[in-house]
Amino acid sequence: MAKSLVIVESPAKAKTISKILGQDYVVKASIGHVRDLPKNKLGVNVRKNFEPQYEILREKETIVKELKEAADVADKVYLAPDPDREGEAIAWHLSEILDLPAKKLHRVEFNEITKEAVLAAMKKPRQIDRSLVDAQQARRLLDRLVGYKISPLLWRKVNGRSAGRVQSVAVRIICEREAEIDVFLPQEYWSIKADLSKLRSKTSFAMNLAKFEGKRIIAASDKPSATAVVIDSEKRANEIVSAVQKEKFAVTSVTEKTSQRNPQPPFITSTLQREAANNLGYAVKKTMQVAQQLYEGVELGDAGPSGLITYMRTDSTRVSPQAQDEAKQYVLDRFEKEFYPDKPRLYEKKIKSAQDAHEAIRPSSVWRTPESIRAFLSPDQFKVYKLIWERFLSSQMASAELATTTVEVTAGAGVFRGSSTDVTFAGYTIVYNRESTADDSAQEDPSAEALTILPELTKGEEVKLKGVDPKQHFTQPPPRFTEASLVKTLEELGIGRPSTYATTVNTIIDRKYVERQAKNLCPTKLGKAVNALLVEHFGDIVEVGFTADMEAKLDKIEDDKVDWHGMLKDFYKPFGETLKRAEENMNKVIILSEHVCPTCGLQMAIRSSRFGQFLGCIGYPECKTKIRLTKDGLPVPEDRPSDELCKTCTAPMLIRYGRYGDYLACSVEECTEQRPIVKYTGVTCPREECGGDIVEKKSRRGKMFFGCSHYGVNGCTMAFWYPPLKSGGPKSGSNKCPQCDALLLYKVLKRGDQIACSNKECGFAQPVTGQEERVS
């Protein structure tokens, strides 16, 4: 009996769905797109109404052959790529390639990959949504027209990599922020804090000066007015201090009020990316990779494979009634009834362009708590799942209730203010108490109530002054973008969609237009030069409003309200005219470096090739000197001597730089011996009779870890993510665990550094004391 064929994108997704559907189905993966525009030509016939010229990707020819063979013998074919524009386009391309009768071909989509959801979706197949396909196709053709036409011009004029419709706008936003920082002039302002106490108490509390001579005290970044003033100098601050110190300090106002703090909505793509960046330190790309794994499915022991979260590319905060009911039952079962609100919470979309096609990102079952499945998850999977689970459950819970007491103390013409807030009912914070990170650009308000623990005070009560502290401040420039804040800005401006944020960020970094400095995104010289040319000659194309308008038109194509051919036609005619003017007027730009040519003494310029960036002499073609650059943008160093000898010919080894960094190479030209540089920690392998040393190593993804130099020899598998302790441990100052004698590790954690046992079954851990000697 013929089986049905199900085609998905990824092998991981195929594995999960195959185990759910059983033996009557064959599940195969296309591994992403199988057909696209050609790589070596435009691939869009502009004269034939923008007809795309698709071709099967060379690396997918074998996969396509296998899918065709499987489809020919199947009784039905279900196309099940992801439930979004990109997934719909993959399904359409597969349908075109397989060329099967319409009655044999079915489109199914899974918002979550659980047994119940998959079986329900298989009972409700549909036809391919051509409006969704058209929207994706229009985006692809639009991006190809912009990139393929502008990029060659950039290669000739600035030796840049390429241009992209959305990516170029992101670079412009970053460059404009950098320009704001460059011209920023800090302004001085002062705050004044009083340390006070009750008359017969030694415990002090702090209050900030809120008013002086009837005028509110503000920061220099705020606008002075008839009722607000800036303390703009040390002289003025000292005058105020002298004036209030002579006065009696008495309570003139005690105000008590109650308020509620509402939970935040469940995650959408952008808020998950931001929260993972702020709380876990994850890059946008990493967050999406881990979320994809959770969506596609994880083996849960005897329970079998299951997707743990709903689809992770969404801009909707909508939650299904079934998920709301499940959350309600969980809250009522695990907490008091007061922790559930009077009625289920509904969250309105805050983003005008939100499509609301999918639910918010939530756990597929709230009963599957993070701790209950921790054993089946990697550390990264556990952290991201815990974040999603807690955020969703809290979003369905009651508000926290707060009681705030605000006290004003008057001293002559000065009024000092402080407040104290108590949580009277924890509400949702019992589950999720991470508040959104504040805007880094916010200036410190000198008149804000000092948040402190206030004693019980009554109006008219005199208090004792213990000291007055004037403090100097300077206004701060707007902060550089981080990955998280850039995604937030792109979303607010309507640029890109949930499926494109991570790609946009990665692309501008990979093209060397932007670089990471700590967590900040900074434009490179190349990025600034390319942006300046694009703004001058293609101002409309890289303008925020224009790009957002194009996104809105793509949405209308999806809603079948705009014809994609007409949209491209309206775009292309003025674009072609702009392109022609740019080719005539754009001057060649040379990006000079700080380095001098070692051959002729002229300056070296930053240039690009398909292999990456390098330094080239500006005297080219007379001087053809080139210097490779490291991945950090520095000139590749000359070979350096080392203390190591070649194991083949005993000649000295040299330290040489390669594509993965420094390595050892034999100094004899005829000898081909090479080996990695081993950095010893000074700690021997704790495994008995091993004789190896613990050394620094790098994983295939470039992450540092520590492992035995004899790893894999005689069964030694000693390896740790954290550095081993050298000495200073609790067991007689050694590096051995006091409970099981295993090696101790030094862990740098957000909640505080600790030393912990390397034996996972032991569990010993304690805060550092400062006596420990760690591997540097």
Q: Which residues are catalytic?
A: 311
In angstroms, rounded to a whole number, what is the distance separating the alpha carbons of residues 329 and 397?
Answer: 11
Sign of torsion over alpha carbons 764, 765, 771, 773: positive
Q: Hey, is 453 helix, strand or coil?
A: coil
What is the C-alpha to C-alpha distance for residues 764 and 752, in angstroms, rounded to an integer? 16
Question: Counting beta carbons within 10 angstroms of the beta carbon of residue 290, is it exposed (0 to 12), middle (13 to 18) or buried (19 or more)?
Answer: buried
Q: Strand 215-218 vs strand 228-230: parallel, antiparallel, or unpaired? A: parallel
Tell me the β-bridge partners of 361: 267
CB burial class (10 A; 0-12, 13-18, 19+) of residue 301?
A: exposed
Dist. CA 169–CA 50, nearest whole Å: 24
End-to-end Cα distance, the chain: 65
The burial of 131, by beta-carbon neighbours within 10 Å (0-12 exposed, 13-18 middle, 19 or more buried), is given as middle
**Contact residues for 230 (Cβ-Cβ < 8 A; gap 6+):** 189, 217, 218, 219, 220, 222, 224
- Interacting residues of 625 by C-beta distance below 8 A, sequence separation 6+: 597, 598, 599, 600, 604, 616, 617
Tokens of 305: 């494979």
Tokens found for residue 437: 């990170």
Cβ proximity of 768 and 723 under 8 Å: no
Between CA 534 and CA 508 the distance in angstroms is 15
The torsion angles phi and psi of 16, rounded to 5 degrees, stand at: -65, -50
**Structure tokens belonging to residue 214:** 């009837």
DSSP letters of 99-155?
Answer: T--GGGEEE---SB-SHHHHHHHHTS-B---HHHHHHHHHHHHHHHHHHHHHHHHHH
Which residue, among 489, 577, 578, 576, has the nearest Cα to 533 in the 3D structure?
Answer: 578
d(CA 311, CA 87): 12
Q: 699-725 as b/e, with b when 16 or more CB fall inside 10 Å? A: eeeeeeebbbbbeeeeebebeeebbbb
Alpha carbon distance 425, 649 (integer Å): 75
> In angstroms, rounded to a whole number, what is the distance separating the alpha carbons of residues 434 and 398?
16
As beta bridge partners, residue 743 has 736
**Listed residue (73, 72, 107, 75) closest to 91, CA to CA:** 107
- What is the rounded distance in angstroms from the CA atom of residue 124 to the CA atom of residue 729? 62
Q: Which residues contact 226 (CB under 8 A, 6 or more apart)?
A: none
Angle at 87 between CA 83 and CA 90, to 5 degrees: 150
Q: Cα Rg for the chain, rounded, in angstroms? A: 32
Phi, psi of 751 (to 5 degrees): -85, 0
Cβ neighbours of residue 351 closer than 8 Å, sequence gap 6 or more? 315, 491, 492, 494
Backbone conformation region of residue 326, classed left if phi is above 0, alpha if psi is from -120 to 50, else beta: alpha
Between 483-493 and 165-183, two packed helices, what is the crossing angle to 10 degrees? 110
Q: Which regions of 127-278 does DSSP assign to beta strands (E)?
A: 188-198, 204-212, 215-218, 228-230, 249-261
